[in-house]
A and B are shown apart, each in its own frame.
Chain A
């Protein structure tokens, strides 16, 4: 059974650009959550999607957005990149919302220069 797949693994972007990250959840999983991880802040929740609808959103500016497709694949977009957006972006999938185990992808390392 394939795990959570995130693409690309690494990205280097310039300030002001925008970026789109992709996440394919485990087959059959319908809940996808996104996290930002930085050395000082740990794992910070960005948003959660379930059945193509955003169910929860973390405390991030509107430059961060996402969506989920009918096949449960999800994308997140960051517009007008800032240096502080440099981080490891992680996607987690779970079968249902709430208290089931979440399984993470390998992450996308975004560097903004």
Chain B
């Protein structure tokens, strides 16, 4: 069964304290990996798509990287406004729906 596992489940950082979130997957024949940010009570906001091992994407203080078995979302010098739940998702083989991880709930304290 295709699986997406995110860790840690929750992360509390001081403002400016850099860290990384992990997304590991067991989908065979990866055809892309997506990162989303979700604020409480709102829909997920698309952040990045990564397609191949070694690929990196950046947006402000966020950088996403991809290996053959996992992806990392690096957060450099985070600010309180970066507090949110970060979700990753992969498309299984065939035209089947995205499989989502349960997310990492990030809190950045001023």
Q: Which of B18-26, B36-44, B60-68, B73-81 contacts A (4 or more CB under 8 A)?
A: B36-44
Contact of A102 among B41, B95, B98 (CB under 8 A): B98
Q: Is the CB of B97 within 8 A of A56?
A: yes
A55 and B94 CA atoms in complex are apart in Å by 12
Q: Is the CB of B49 within 8 A of A101?
A: yes
A48 and B49 CA atoms in complex are apart in Å by 21
Q: A43-B87, A98-B91 are in contact. Are A104 and B44 (CB under 8 A)?
A: yes
| A105 at interface by CB-CB < 8 Å | yes
Rounded to whole Å, the gap between the CB of A22 and the closest CB of chain B is: 14
| A61 at interface by CB-CB < 8 Å | no
Interface size class of B (residues with CB under 8 A): 20 to 34
Q: Is the CB of A104 within 8 A of B45?
A: yes
Give the number of residues in A that approach B within 8 Å (Cβ atoms): 25
Rounded to whole Å, the gap between the CB of B94 and the closest CB of chain A is: 8
Q: Is the CB of A42 within 8 A of B42?
A: no
| A109 at interface by CB-CB < 8 Å | yes
B residues neighboring A (CB under 8 Å): 31-32, 34, 36, 41-46, 49, 87, 89, 91, 94-98, 100-103
A residues neighboring B (CB under 8 Å): 4, 6, 33, 35, 42-43, 45, 48, 55-56, 58, 88, 90, 92, 97-99, 101-107, 109
Instruction: A56-B96, A97-B95, A99-B31 are known; give 8 further A-B pairs, CB within 8 A.
Output: A42-B103, A43-B87, A45-B97, A88-B41, A102-B89, A103-B46, A104-B45, A107-B43
Chain A to chain B contacts (Cβ below 8 Å), 14 pairs: A6-B43, A33-B97, A42-B102, A42-B103, A43-B87, A45-B98, A88-B41, A98-B94, A99-B31, A99-B32, A101-B34, A102-B98, A104-B44, A106-B43
